Structure 1
Amino acid sequence: MTRTNAEPTGSGFGHLWLGEGASLLGNATSAFLIPVLAVVHLDAGPLWMGLLTAAAWLPWVVVGLPAGALVDRHAPKTVIVTANLLAGAALLTVPVAGWTGRLTLGQLLVVALTTGTAAVFSRTAGIKIVPAVVGPGGLEQANARLLGTESLTHVAGPGIGALLITTVSAATGLLLDVVGFVVSAICMRRVHPRRRADVGITPERLRTQVAEGIRIVRHDRYLGPFVLIGGVSNFGLTGTSALIVVYLVDTLGIDPSYAGLVMMLGSMGGVAGALVATPLARRWGTGRASTGLLVASAPCALLVALAETSRQVGITVAGLVLLGATVVAGNVVRGSWRQRYVPERLMGRVVTTSQVVNYGAMPLAGVTAGLLAHGLGTRPTMLVMAGVHLLASLAVLLTPIGRLAELPAWEDPLPSSQRRSPSDDAATPSVPVRSTS
C-alpha cells in the first residue's frame, strides 16, 4: 500500500485546530498557575501537590468506561462543546473565590475533579472527531499539528502564567483558561465533519457496549501491550511532573517566575517531536518509529531530576526537552495508527478503556509521589518515578510490537462467538481501518 500525504485542510479542521489551541493555551497556563497558587499562596506541600494531580486524573478511573460508550452514542461535537462549557464554569469559581479571600485547597481539589471529568468526555470525543474531519489520509498531519500546538502552548503557558503572576495574580490569571474553554466551544460549533461519526448506542445496551470495549483491548495483541506500557510509563512520568514545581522552587531555590521560564524552555522538545514524527514514521515505518521513540525516551526522565542546585538547572531543561520530543513524536505515530486501526463504531469505548489504564495510573502516581516525597524528599522521589518510566519504555522490546516494521491493520481480536453483527448497533457499521506501509 502507498502512504498518503493528504493535508488536513478546510474550514472544519481550521476551526477544530483553533478551538483546540485556545483551550490548550488556557490549560497550559493553568497547569503552571494552579501549582504556584497552591504552593505559594496556600502553603501546599508535596502531599497536597500529589492530591491535586490525582484529582485531575481520577475521573478517568471513575467515569472513563461509561464515558466511552456515551461518546459513541452522541455526536462528538456536541460532547466537546458541553464538556468545555462545564469545565469553564467550574474553573471560573477559582478567581471568584480568590477575589473574596475564600479560596482553599479543598476547592482546588473539587475544581480539578470537575475539569478532569469534563476532559474525559472532550478528549475521547476529540480523538473520534478528527478522522471524520480530515479523513484517514490526513491523520498524521492533523495529529502532528494538534500535538505540536499543544507543545507550543506548553512553551507559552508557563511564560504567560509567570507574566500574569507579576501583573495581576495567579487566581485572576486563571480567567485565561475560562476564556479558552469558551472560545473552544464557539469554534467547535463551526466544525462540520466531512462524514458523520457513528452514533446510536441505545441506553439499554450501555453495559454491553462497555464490556465489548474491554474485551477488544484485552484480547488485541497490539492494543493490550501499548495500554500496559502506557499505564506504567504514565505512572512514572506523572509522579515526576507532580513534583516539578516543588522541585524547582523549593529544592533548587528558583523564583516562581523563573520556574515558568524553565518549564517553557523544556516544552520546546514537544514542538520538535511533533515536527519530526511524520517524517520518522515515513522513513522508518510506524512500528520502528514507535519502538525507537519509546526506547529513546527511557533515560530522558532521569535527567529532569539530576540537578542539585540552581546552577545545574540546564540539566533539567535538557531532560524536559528530550523527554518532550520523544514522547510527543511517539504519541503522534501511535495515535494516528490507532485512529486508523480501530473501527469507528468502537473508537470511544476502545479509547476510554485504554485511557482508564493509561490515565488511571496518574492519580495513583500523584498520591504515591506525594507520600514518597514526604518521607524520601522531592528529588529522590522524582528519580524513582523516572526509573519506573525507564523500565516501562524498555519493556516494548519484549513484546511483539518491538519486532514490527509497520504497525498492523485491524483484525477483530474477539473469538467469533463473542462478535456481534453490525445490526446489533444502531450505528452504521464501520469499514475496518487500513494501515499504511
Structure 2
Amino acid sequence: MRYMATYDLMESIRNTQQWLGATALSMASYPAFQMIPNPALQYMAAWGEVAERSYKRMVAKPDWGIHSVPCEDGRDHIVSIEKVVERPFGDLIHFHVKGREPKQRKILLVAPMSGHYATLLRSTVISLLPDADIYITDWHNARDIPVSEGKFDIEDYTLYVVDFMKELGPDINVIAVCQPAPLVLAATAYLAEIDPEAQPNTLTLIGGPVDPDATPTEVTDFGHSVTMGQLEELMIQRVGASYNGIGRRVYPGLLQLTSFISMNLDRHASAFQDQIMRVMKGVASDHDPHNRFYDEYLAVMDMTAEFYLSTVERIFKAGEIAANEFVVDGHKVDIGKITNVAVKTVEGENDDISAPGQCIAALDLCTGLPEEMKASHVEPGAGHYGIFAGSSWRNNIRPLVLEFIDANAGGAKTAKPAPKKAKLKAV
C-alpha cells in the first residue's frame, strides 16, 4: 500500500462522500419538492447534511475557539495565541491573556501525536487558563511537511520536548496527556543528565503507556500480534500530489480514523443515526453535543511513518521505556537520574486504551526520586477521554493536579506519597 495512488484513492473516496452528502442535501431541499411532503426526502436531506459535515471535517484543522477568559477582576480578558518556538514538525504556542497579571502557575501541556490535532485538548486548556499561564505543543500534520525537512521519529519528538522545556525554564510544570507520557518522562530524565537546571518543576503524566504490558488492552494486544513488516506494508502510504508533503511516508489520518471508529463501531453508528433523526426533527444545531464532539473527533492528521513505526516497535513491542533502556540521539537515558522533579500519574478506572497500571509504572522507574515527591490518582468510573476532559477532569482531576503543582512550587517538594500498588488483573 506504500504508494501515492493509494493515498489519493482514500482522499478521492472521502471527497466523493462529501460531494454525495452535499448533493443529497441540495436535491432533497429543492423548493418544488416541498409541495408534496415526503419523509424520504426529509431523511435524505438530513443524511446529506450530516454526511457532508462529517466528511468535510476529516481534512480540516479545528480552530482553538478560545477568544476570552474570565479573570479575578471580574472582566473577560482577550486571549491571543502566540508562537513561542516554530519548528518544522511542531510549534510551542502560548495562550496569552491580555491585560492579566502574570500567573505563578506556568503549565506546559504536551499534546499527543496520535491522530488528532492538539485542539483535542481544547477543553483542558479552557479549564486551566483562568488559573495558570498555559503553553502547549502544536504538532503539524505530516502531509503538509515537505520531504526536505527530513525524518521525525520518537527520538526527535523527545528532543522537541526537551527544547520546549529549556525554552520555558525550570519553573514550568509539565502535563503530558496520553501518548507522550513515556517520552516526556524520558525527556525529563535526559535533561536531568545533560542540563539539570532546565528540568521542570513538576511532571504530571495522564493516561500514558509507560509500561504497556503492565495491564494489556486491545491496543497492546494489536501491537504484539502483528510484525513490523506487516504494519509497514498495510499502514504506511505516501502523501499524494495535493499536499506539500508529496512523497512523504505517513500513517494517514483517514486510515487512523477507520481504526478509531472500528473500536466502537456500534456506538458511532448509533450516534450518527440519532443525529440524522434530530436534523429531521429540526432540533439539531451547529454546536450541539454531537457536532461539538465529532467536529474534533473526525479531524485527523497524518503521522510520519517513522514516528508511528518507532512508537510501536520501541514503546510497545520492545518496552524500552518500561525497561529503562531508551536511547535518545545516541545517549542512553536513565530515568533514575530524576531526583528533584515531583512526578504524579493520573489514570482512569475504565480506560480501555491505556489501562490502570500502565502509567503508574513511571513511579517505579523514578528510583532516584524520594517517595514524598511521588503521587498517583486513579479516577473511578473514568474512561480514557474523561481523564483529561469532561466532568471527571473538571470536578476531580484538575483540582488534584493544581494542588500537586502548588504543593511542589518553588522546590517545596511536599507531594503526598503514592499509595501502594494493588495487583491489577489483565483486561
Tell which has more relative contact order, 1 or 2 (C-alpha 8 A, sep 6+): 1
Larger relative strand fraction: 2
Larger relative helix fraction: 1
Q: Taking structure 2 as the reference length, what is the TM-score of the superposition? A: 0.24
Who wins on radius of gyration, i.e. which is larger? 2
